[in-house]
Amino acid sequence: MNDLENNDFGTWITYILLISVVVILAGFPQVTNKTLAAFGFIEDYCGDGIIQTPNSAGFFEQCDTNNFGNITNCSSLPEYISGDLKCTSSCEINLNNCVLGF
Ligand SMILES: [Ca+2]
């Protein structure tokens, strides 16, 4: 019985370790680009505040964080009269908050 209890304890420790690894790996992609850049593995990435066409991942960024390049707001775009531009976490311009003119 005592051996069985010890085995149960070992099994729980294993589960806890596995869950910890999964939680750490699940959070890792959020810091990957910054971490890779900090160590010099990549130079240009979505989230560095600079629009690259393309960035190190080969993606042509439309915006980056609060940087929209020559576009200053929704009304600088044809058809739109007001509203706030958003830059998605994948560096694409989101016009959902822009108001269309008529
Ligand atoms: Ca970038």
pLDDT at 6: 64
Q: Which amino acid is at 58?
A: G
pLDDT of residue 102: 75
pLDDT of residue 63: 97
Could you report the per-residue pLDDT of 56-87, keeping only the tens digit for each? 889 999 999 999 999 989 999 999 999 999 99
Please tell me the predicted confidence (pLDDT) of residue 83: 95
Tell how far the Cα of 13 is from the centroid of ligand 1, in angstroms.
Answer: 42
Convert the pLDDT of each residue in 7-48 to its tens digit.
788 899 999 999 888 877 776 656 678 888 888 888 999 999
Q: How far apart are CA 67 and CA 81, in angstroms?
A: 20
- How many whole angstroms from 50 Cα to the centroid of ligand 1? 4
Cα 82 to ligand 1 centroid, rounded to whole Å? 26
